[in-house]
Chains A and B, each alone.
Chain A
Amino acid sequence: MERLLITGITGGQGRLVAKRLADQFEVIGVDRTPWEGHPHQIRVHTMDLRKKKFEDIFRRERPTAVIHMAFVRHFRADPMVRHEINVVGTKRLLECCATYGVKKLVVLSSSYVYGALPENPYYMDEDTSLNVSRHYPDIRDLAEVDTLCSTFLWKYPEIATAILRPVNTLGYYVHSAIGAYLKLPWVPTIMGFNPMLQFMHEEDVAEAVARTLETGLRGVFNVAGPGAVPLKVAIRETGGSAIPMPETVARGVIERLFKMGLYHLPSAAVDFVKYPCTIDGRRFRDATRFEPLFTLEETFGSVRH
């Protein structure tokens, strides 16, 4: 049985992917926080990617496949720590992959790296530049990680590296900013804006990751779900009420709350509920025959209040 290392296994998405692949692979997990009650056939190491001992896991376990999803996507942590884990952590992981003979690598990036800009076309393909840092420098580390991995992909042609950029992910287990936002009873929106948003169920993301590994895919892939709806339809379908606010007020309030540590999203994130950041998932679909199982209705149902 092939040995598979999953970084960030304790997160919601990590658990789903681990369970999905536990029968096909000998799964080894690593995460900063322990996974209480993990399935017995999975070995979980509690370890920080930045620690020197992290390399020991590669030495000892000798995984031939790696799924990398140990990213800090929230803003509760110190920005320095966030950058270190995301960028430095990824760099170290990539070095380990090259040194210890990993054959397949899947990195779970996200479609946010393209950024939400007014001139975005609906179907952004994989060749679109990663524009997120233009207005949203707070998550430039995620764009940097994506670029690091793309470089790795070209530098090591013998390793099947796949970078996945899925759309907004919703579900019971996954903690995402968009999920938390939609779970608010009163959802602040920007007055006069109602962009199209693509959604996808967490199980489908897990399936896409698994499918990538199974097919030994190599390249950069957008992963799109069942489709898109305007933001306000999503809010309604998840059981909330949209509260439109003037943009200056919304940005001002969020900025203040963020600085005081009461709200954990920088005001630049507002762009993602103002302008579209929608992608073209054709390349991935053609390469893997992946079709999302969950409809938009079911996806919204999974986070309904």
Chain B
Amino acid sequence: MMKTRKGYPVYPLTVAQKFHLYYLAFCPKKQVVNIGNSLTIGTDLDWNVLKSSIYKAYERCESMRLRFAKDKEGNWYQYVVEKEERDIEFVDFTGQTMEEAEKTMRKWTEVPFKEEDSPMNRIVMIKTPDGYQGIYMLVNHLTMDAQSIICFMKDIIELYCNTMYEGVPYPKEMHSYIKQLEKDLAYEAGSKAQQRDIAYFEKLIESSEPIYNGLEGTDKLKEQRKRKKNPKLRSAINVSDSVDADLDIFHLEAEPTKRLMDFCEKYHVSLACLLIMGLRTYFQKMNGNDDVSINTAIARRATLQEKKSGGTRIHSFPFRTIISEDKTFLEGVYEIRDRQNEMFRYANYNPTSYFAHRSKVYQLEPGYTYEPMSLTYQPMTLQERGLDKLGGISYKTKWYPNGATTQAMYLTVMHRPDDNGLDFNFEHQIKAVSRKELEYLYYYLCKIMFKGTENPNLPIGDIIKLI
């Protein structure tokens, strides 16, 4: 076992990090763990101040200085180097079209990182053809997730604004990634809390076998039952033989988004609950099952230390609900809220163990699943995380696909920073799910959510008939 590497103490990976390694092992395209995004501002930036703000932000964020190494047995370890010494690149896209500039950044997002003893991120200062200026940032998902990326971006902006503008306070300190890591590893080393979480999830898994619901209905399950000569088969292969992926984005305007948010505020439920309700009702309509499962991501950032220590913390678990059609829309939303709140309390459980235990209990063959898709709702935007310091200056953010995914469909719902409307980002395997299928899903998802929020006491069965 390694103890130090290049003079720095080494630590094992957390289960959240190992989950990425788990699917990475089966994926021929190693950029599957890349996350690329850009933030540009409609004003002239001082590049020297921006550069020093980026270095300062590196200094304040340990997980942006993470490196990985393997020991003789092939186990991965991580360590944090003292400082970032690379030059910060600058690329001027002036003279090109926006499409060309975005295509270049998309290409950057498709380049995998060197695995050992190498930086796991890339930052480029950019000037885009629309006259905006800012940064493009690429990270390895084993080191950062969406929330820590936003937190890091916010830090750069606040550091920049502190230098440039009078009266802008110096941002509060970030928290130590290593300290949080030590806490997580202590939990994973057989703690009482871990035993409690294992017991909860194993009981949940063993309660009864879920059933697969297809995006287009029951055809896929029926076909696989026939092929397997097993009329009782409840799982299906959902992915294609190619990990090549595309990203299709659907925009919900600010006003209808506000109506959904008003419903959530009135009934004290999160938008994530409403989205799950919309999605599960869609699958219920298409498949005729009350029993619906989709994968949902839990950010696991509650304390300020968790929120401000960077790293990757997401745990994804199947979220199963059995809600009959005679229940009202609101009863369904409340059931989801209660079940989700319950799951939150045990969310430190190892997601890889979840799938391994479930496969054992129900004798699942490799590749077979009950979940047709995954959902992440990202409530945090830069609007509330720093860009208010820029006053009325407009800005743009963009996330770039890495061109590969191991899942058939992954929906990330995020607020647009400029108008707070919702963007539905569908990352999908090109061979597994078509744009037309996504349009159909998005259309009915919206219809269900609006019909339900306008008539919360309407039975789910009536909503399914009416839309």
Tell me if chain B binds chain A. Answer: no
